[in-house]
Structure 1
Amino acid sequence: MTDFVSPPASQVPLSGDASLSSPLTEARMALETGDWPTAETLYEAILQTLPTGSEAWALAGIVALQLGNPTLAAERLAQARIRQPDDALTLVWLGQALAFSGQLAAALEPLETACGLAPTLYDAHHAWGTVLVELKRPLEAIRPLMRAVKLNPAAAPTWLTLGLALAATGEDEAAVGAMAQVIACQPEDATGYHEFARHHLANGRPELAKPLFMQACALAPGDAQLHSDTSGCFDALGDMEAAVRHYDRACDLDPTFA
């Protein structure tokens, strides 16, 4: 799945519930420090004693998502939404939980609603656009992703997703510009170079892809898929020796490439 960019764990809806219960305060502290097992234990108990608290449901959902249980997270965040329907952050977390649980179509409504409630909330626009890309609806994804990069110009994952959406709609020049921004934002991350190189290669420009592949390989020498793609680039350039070398490296790293 295309990367999501989740709001920080501390950036969650505040309904005033925290003043009602010291266990809720303790649970929130555990969440903010990343002590997810402790937070989960505390929130399970809190939901039994404070079942109407929207903040408790929202934070419990976030904890479940962090612990790798998006289905439970979606259930809890849906309860938070019932209690506080107009909180944009709750809707962003709900949309992401639904997406990670495989309910991509269901994720669209809360994310689109969050964008309407909070037009300047970067996370909402990024997540909405990302889900649209995952649903193979790149043309619709471009608008929220463009909004997201305007709100956060340094967001490399959003630039990458935007580049993929533009490429899927045939906007080659715009896709090249977006992917160049990925590298500008994260010059030490191989992902931007790899995806930019793949785009050039897919559009018949192996000579432009080659230096990008080589930089990606320097940054991520243990990435089997990267070496396999680099092999394809050298093959397109007619350099069979280099193509075989990178293919062999891919097979060494991951025998399934053989």
Structure 2
Amino acid sequence: MMSFAALSFAARWLLRSVVVSSIGLSSIGAVACAVACAAAPPGPRSVEEGGGEPSVTAQGPNASAPLPGDGSAASDGGTAVPRPAPQDMTSAPAARQGSLVERGLARGDGSPADEALRRGDAAWRGERWEEALELFERARSLAPQDPAPWVGIARARSRDAALVYGAAAGDASFEEVVVALDRALALQSDFTLARFEKGRVLLALGRPLEAKALLESVVEDAPEDAEAQSCLGVALLASGDVARARERFERAAQLEPDRAERFGNLATTQMMVGGVEDAVRSYRSAVRLDPNSAQYQNDLGVALLAGGDLEGAMQHLSRAVALEPRRATFLSNLAYAHLAAGRPEEALRIARRATELDPKLGSAWINRGTAEARLGRLPAARRALERALQLDPTDPRARDGLAELDELEASAAP
């Protein structure tokens, strides 16, 4: 099963891509929740990449200077809520047996309805969605007062697809999934699995307050379930309660210390409250567990840069680009690191590539303009910064950069 991935979902079912901006850097971490809320990656995409995932912004040093792009909602059109991104989701370690995300619906009583549930569970785990739906429908017809078949129908219809925070908003098929789960809860209001599944579907629909109420009750019933803790963290984060979200992510990491996304989610909230050193430790854990995740390499690099470790940041940001050379946000972050290191020529080369890959990435245009200015190419710098401002007229970095150019040109005038 997939997990709410970058907040990253991306995070990522839910905050697929929780994008945190630090020193103008993009796409820090995805918060993972899950489809059945469990296994999946953080591979959030930034808002600027067109995913539209929610984002949050963490203040970084030198905030007054024109900084490279952040992928934040404020600067590039996202909402002020966190992303496990809608982002592409990758596979994660197999969910623990007995966890809510993997728990089957059959009870083993040998009845015809239970046999249909057992076979439906097997088809669902094998991602044979149509077969699973047919079997759960059969179980429903055989046992119309049993809530379990309705949960199976909901699982088969959601198909572990697009389980990214807010990605299913307005999707009629997901509203039908909610109806199926409501029918299960009408038959048994305390059915934990039905409340769990409905909570995560509500996250996909972008309804965090409703999801939070359900998931809080699920965590009361299943306090040792890491995915339930993580999904509740996503709901809290999307509702603006960062402190409580961090507590849930801390608990999820304690319960499953071998899951990279647990630490990625935790680090995201730590960055949001200014706990850079804590975030670096958590991102290091995520990278250790999943060294080939470009997202975690990027996020660790951003955190290190926020903490002043330029050499370490460069290493991990470069690794992220090597793993995903066409991710414009990763390139933009690396360009910023080169600017910080006093290498405007290299920064310009990388920022140009980022703007070619994603002409709507405001952060890359700001980095590009900054590099041009440092090389003394003021007209080119102005064009780049004007492009950034055109993409987001509210971005103070672009406005401040243009104001600085005005001063430079005025002082150079005869």
The TM-score, its normalising length taken from structure 2, stands at 0.58
* Alpha-carbon distance between aligned partners in 2 of 1:5 and 1:185, rounded to the nearest angstrom: 20
SS of match in other structure, 1:136: coil
SS of the residue corresponding to residue 139 of structure 1 reads: helix
Instruction: Rate the CA distance shift 1:143–1:224 in 2: closer, same or farther, 3 A.
Output: closer
| One-letter amino acid of the structure 2 residue matched with residue 128 of structure 1 | L
1:9 and 2:12 aligned: no
> Is the contact between residue 317 and residue 334 of structure 2 (CA under 8 Å) also seen in structure 1?
yes
Q: Which residue of 2 aligns with 1:122?
A: 260
Cα distance change on mapping 1:14 and 1:193 into 2, 3 Å:
closer
**SS in structure 1 opposite 2:326?**
coil
The aligned counterpart of 1:27 is 154
In structure 2, the partner of 1:64 is 202
Look up the match of 1:243: 381
Pairing 1:53–2:53 present: no
Q: Which residue of 2 aligns with 1:189?
A: 327
Structure 1, unpaired ranges of 5+:
none
Q: Provide the aligned C-alpha RMSD in A.
A: 2.1
State which of 313, 321, 330 in structure 2 corresponds to 1:175.
313
Distance in 1 of aligned mates of 2:352 and 2:184: 53
CA shift at 1:133, angstroms?
Answer: 0.8
- Percent identity of the aligned residues? 28
- Displacement after TM superposition at 1:8 (Å): 4.8
2:350 is the counterpart of 1:216: no
After TM superposition, the score normalised by the length of structure 1 is 0.91
| Distance in 2 separating the partners of 1:108 and 1:57 | 22
- 347, 351, 369: which one aligns with 1:231: 369
The match for 1:199 among 331, 337, 343 is 337
Looking at structure 2, the residues matched to 255 and 115 of structure 1 have their Cα atoms a distance apart, in angstroms, of 40
Q: How many residues align?
A: 258
Indicate the SS of the match to 1:68.
coil
Change (3 A) 1:251 1:148: closer
After TM superposition, the structure 1 stretch with the greater mean CA deviation from structure 2, 25-34 or 135-144, is 25-34
Higher relative contact order (CA 8 A, sep 6+): 2
- SS of the residue corresponding to residue 35 of structure 2 reads coil
**Contact conserved, 1:54 with 1:80, CA < 8 A, in 2?**
yes
Q: Which runs of 5+ in 2 are unaligned?
A: 1-18, 21-28, 39-99, 107-145, 162-172, 400-414
Letter in 1 for 2:346: L
Question: What SS is found at the alignment partner of 1:18?
Answer: coil
CA offset digits 1:63-86 (Å, max 9, x no partner)? 111101122222211111111110
CA contact (8 A) 2:36 2:102 kept: no
Give me the whole-angstrom Cα distance separating, in 2, the residues matched to 1:15 and 1:249: 48
